[in-house]
Structure 1
Amino acid sequence: MKKQELIHLHGLLSEVRTQMEAWESTELDVSEYETMGVRPTSIHRSKTDHKAAVFEIANGITTAMEEAEPDRVAPRAD
């Protein structure tokens, strides 16, 4: 993935985080992401920094989603 694409993905995940925090009553645990100091607007940061930030914010989002929906539905074809 190119750096520009990674920054775009970072921005999209940041928007998902903002919306989830607005819709949900619980806050996302993104403390690791916050300590990194890498934001989607930090275009001077390296591709590796943005990649690590994407993984951290995605981890926080998916963890919150798993806590909100603990029952998994088995995939099946109709």
Structure 2
Amino acid sequence: MHKDELIQLHALMAQIKKHFEHMGIEDEFSEYNSLSISPLHVHRSKAEHKHAIFVLGNDLASAISRNNNVSDFGGTSSRMQELAHKASARLVKSS
């Protein structure tokens, strides 16, 4: 994906996060919030946005599985966490 496409995906996922927060699910996003990156930070690298997407994806999947008891999302959460770790490792290597 190109950087602008990643930023668009990041923005969409951030909107989903905002909706969850509006529903009262706020304490689920501490890992994503600790990254201090948003889709508006267009100056940040493609790798940083990719990492943020994976972390946010993991947080969203975890929030869904914890709050709706939907077991199918447990695997999604694990996969997103795995991808976030891989993206983080690549980010460290490229720095």
- The residue type equivalent to 2:54 in the other structure is F
Stretches of 4+ moved more than 4 A in 1? none
User: Whose radius of gyration is greater, 1 or 2?
Assistant: 1
* Structure-2 residue corresponding to 1:19: 19
| Structure 2 residues without counterparts, runs of 5 or longer | 73-95
Q: TM-score, normalised by structure 1?
A: 0.81
- What secondary structure is seen at the aligned counterpart in 1 of 2:9? helix
Highest RCO, 1 vs 2 (Cα 8 Å, sep ≥ 6): 1
Deviations 1:38-69 (A, max 9, x none): 11000000000000000111111110100122
Q: TM-score, normalised by structure 2?
A: 0.68
| 1:33 and 1:57 in contact (8 A); partners too | yes
Q: How many residues align?
A: 72
Deviation at 1:26, TM superposition (A): 3.0
| Structure 1 residues without counterparts, runs of 5 or longer | 74-78
Cα RMSD (Å) of the superposition?
1.6
Does residue 33 in structure 1 map to residue 45 in structure 2?
no
